[in-house]
């Protein structure tokens, strides 16, 4: 009799769980390429929001072309929320380069900041480059043409007296930059990426480099001009031979959503994620860099009312 009763109870629990899953809203989270950080981190976020929302959501992480595409997908309601770089979000919402003023993505709003993506300014040890100004006359990789990385370079260079006329710009993605740098075909490069970056790890394992600091009055002016930039530092020991923290600037990976999603749903999503960051960190190391306290840092687009309500409860001041 007890075995029969136990069987009925087990079946009842399975039916309840199945019913809860069936009732869950199915959401899609746009991430990035499968070889980058956005896709696995997005998978961890999807899992946490699904399991910690009391059956309210079932989230699937979708591989994409990353920030620019993700903004378009959220604007068009083709996905529900997405990971994007905050400077890309700023440009898309305002219709500035590389986006168009006649196609502003003003339906995209913020949930919160996730983690920093640092400006890495790296020079060969024998190049005599110690400051950004020393790039003049040098062969520098600025990233793939038209990429977010290259846009960052153009934004930053002019504050240090640089342009594509007084340096020799080389337009290469990260992997090819690493190969040419190791072959001594480049004097330096600029990456805007999370840490540790495998391409830079590969370089520093093979040879000594100099990490150029980005600091002082010109860095302050940049942050004043572009509030999506944050004064930051690459932590000591991130790369071989890098024994001290390197002052620099960072942009932020942020979570965005369409403004037309209901306030209650976005509140529940935000709460499920930010109340359970330990679970995200167990699934992906970048989860350890996400915090409630820094959730508004570097975000220049409006917040969704549901996210704003959650952070107000946590005492986080939003812009």
Q: What's the rounded Cα separation, in Å, for the pair 307 and 285? A: 24
Per residue in 242-274, pLDDT tens? 999 999 999 999 999 999 999 999 999 999 999
301: left (phi over 0), alpha (psi -120 to 50) or beta: beta
Task: Give residue for tokens 């959501």.
Answer: 57
CATH topology match: 24-116+253-313 vs 117-251 = yes
Domain 24-116+253-313 sits in which CATH superfamily?
Answer: Periplasmic binding protein-like II (3.40.190.10)
| Residue 280: Cβ-neighbour burial (10 angstroms; 0-12, 13-18, 19+) | buried
Domain boundaries, the chain: 24-116+253-313, 117-251
pTM of the complete model? 0.81
Q: Which fold has domain 117-251?
A: D-Maltodextrin-Binding Protein; domain 2 (3.40.190)
Q: What is the pLDDT of residues 76-107, one digit of tens each?
A: 999 999 999 999 999 999 999 888 999 999 99
Q: What's residue 109's pLDDT?
A: 99
């Amino acid at each position: 009799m007890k075995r029969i009763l136990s069987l009925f109870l087990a079946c009842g629990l399975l039916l309840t769980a199945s019913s809860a899953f069936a009732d869950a809203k199915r959401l899609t989270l746009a991430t990035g390429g499968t070889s980058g950080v956005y896709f696995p981190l997005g998978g961890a976020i999807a899992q946490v929001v699904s399991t910690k929302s009391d059956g309210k959501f079932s989230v699937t992480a979708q591989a994409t072309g990353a920030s620019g595409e993700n903004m378009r997908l959220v604007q068009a309601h083709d996905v529900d929320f997405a990971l994007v770089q905050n400077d890309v979000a700023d440009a898309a919402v305002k219709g500035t380069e590389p986006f168009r003023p006649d196609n502003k993505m003003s339906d995209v709003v913020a949930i919160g900041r996730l983690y920093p993506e640092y400006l890495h300014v790296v020079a060969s040890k024998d190049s005599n480059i110690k400051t950004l100004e020393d790039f003049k006359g040098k062969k520098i990789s600025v990233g793939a043409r038209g990429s977010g990385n290259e846009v960052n370079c153009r934004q930053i260079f002019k504050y240090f007296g640089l342009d594509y006329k007084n340096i020799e710009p080389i337009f290469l993605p990260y992997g090819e930059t690493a190969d040419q740098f190791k072959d001594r075909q480049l004097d330096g490069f600029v990456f805007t990426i999370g840490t540790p970056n495998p391409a830079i790890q590969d370089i520093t394992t093979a040879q000594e480099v100099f990490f150029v600091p980005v600091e002082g009055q010109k860095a302050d002016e940049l942050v004043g001009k572009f509030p999506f930039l944050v004064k930051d530092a690459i932590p000591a020991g991130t790369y071989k031979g890098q024994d001290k923290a390197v002052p620099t600037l960072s942009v932020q990976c942020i979570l965005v959503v369409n403004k037309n999603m209901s306030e209650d749903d976005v509140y529940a999503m935000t709460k499920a994620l930010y109340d359970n960051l330990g679970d995200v960190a167990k699934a992906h190391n970048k989860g350890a860099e996400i915090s409630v306290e820094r959730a508004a840092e570097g975000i220049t687009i409006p917040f969704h009312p549901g996210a704003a309500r959650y952070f107000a409860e946590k005492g986080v001041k939003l812009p």
